[in-house]
Structure 1
Amino acid sequence: MPKQRRNDDWGFPRWRDYGAERAATTVRLCDRDGCTNVGDRPAPKAPNSPERWMFCQEHAAKYNAGWDYFRGLTPEEAATRAASEDRQRNYRRASHWEWGGEGDGSRSRAELDALRVLGLDADASADAVKAAWRTAAKASHPDVAGTSPEVAERFRAVQAAWAVLQAADAARAQAAERDAR
C-alpha cells in the first residue's frame, strides 16, 4: 500500500499553485503575413465559401472594409438581392421605438426640445449650437428687439435652451472623465 501524503488540493483551483499541472494551449495566429497577434476573427475567403481566414481584429477590419457584397452585380440586381434579403428577415423594429421621435438616443428629450427652440437638428455639433444660441440671443435681446412680452418670452426660451444644453454637455464631459479613470 502506498504511503499517504498530505494534499492541499481539495478540488478548488485557487488552492493550487499558479501554472501547476497546466498544459500549454495552442493559439492560432493571424493569417496576415507577418502578424503575430491572435487570429480569432473569421472572414470568408470567397463569397459562399465555407473556407475562412482567421484574422486579428485590426486585419479583420481592414479586410471587411474592402469587401463588396454586391461585386459583379448590376445596380438593378443588387437592389433586387437587397430587397429579397430584407423580406427574408422575420423581425421588425420594435414599436416602442416609435414614440421616441427623432434623434439617435444620444440626446435626451429636453436636449432635443432645446435644439428645436434654437432651430437646429438633433445631430447638431457643439459649434453649431453655440452659433445658433448667440444669433438667437442677439436677435431676441431686449436691448435690440424691444420690451414686448413675446420678445421677452422668446429670450427666456433661448436662454433656457442654452442652459439645458450646457448642463447636458457638462454632464457628458464629467461622465467621460469618470469613465477614463
Structure 2
Amino acid sequence: MPECTKSAGYRAPRSRETLNQYYWFCLEHVREYNARWDYYKGMSPGQIEAHLRADIAWDRPSWAFGQSAAQAKRKTFNEEEILDPLDILGRSREARAERKRQAAAPRAPEGLRDSLATLGLDWPVTLDVAKARYRELARKHHPDTNNGDRKAEERLKVINVAFTIVRTHLTSEGLEKAG
C-alpha cells in the first residue's frame, strides 16, 4: 500500500489466471485485501460449477471406476487390464494358464508363418498333415470344380506356393535330422 511503512512480508495473488504472481503486503493490508478479493468474480454460476467440479478431480480427466483413459474413450471393458493379485475375481488363474499355454506352444519359423496361415495349419505340423490339407484345399479351389472361376484359380496358385514352401521346409528339416 502506498502510505504503509510496515514490512511487506505477506503475499496475495494478483488474479485468478496468474496465481503464481503476487502483491506483497504487511499483515494488516493482506488481511484487508483477502477480505475483499473474490476468486470467482466475473464468472457465471455455470462456470463456477464447472470450475468446482474440475477442482474435485484436481483438474484431471476422470472416468468410471475400473476403466483406463483409453477404455473410457472406447466405452469397452477389457478384463485383462484389471490388476487382481489376490484373484478376487477368480479369472486370473484361467488367463494365466492360457498365457502359459501360448508361451509354451512352439512358434513356427519366420518364413513359414504366412504359408501355414494360407493353408490353415498350426505349427508344429507333419508333412502328411500338410499334404492332406493341400489336397483338400486344391479340390475346393480348383478351377474345374468352380466352373473356371478366375478367383478360385488365383486362390489355388497362392495355395500351391504356400504348400511348396511348407513341403520344402519339412523335407529339408527331415534331411537335416537324418544327416
TM-score (norm 2): 0.39
Q: Which has the higher helix share?
A: 2
Structure with bigger gyration radius: 2
TM-score (norm 1): 0.38
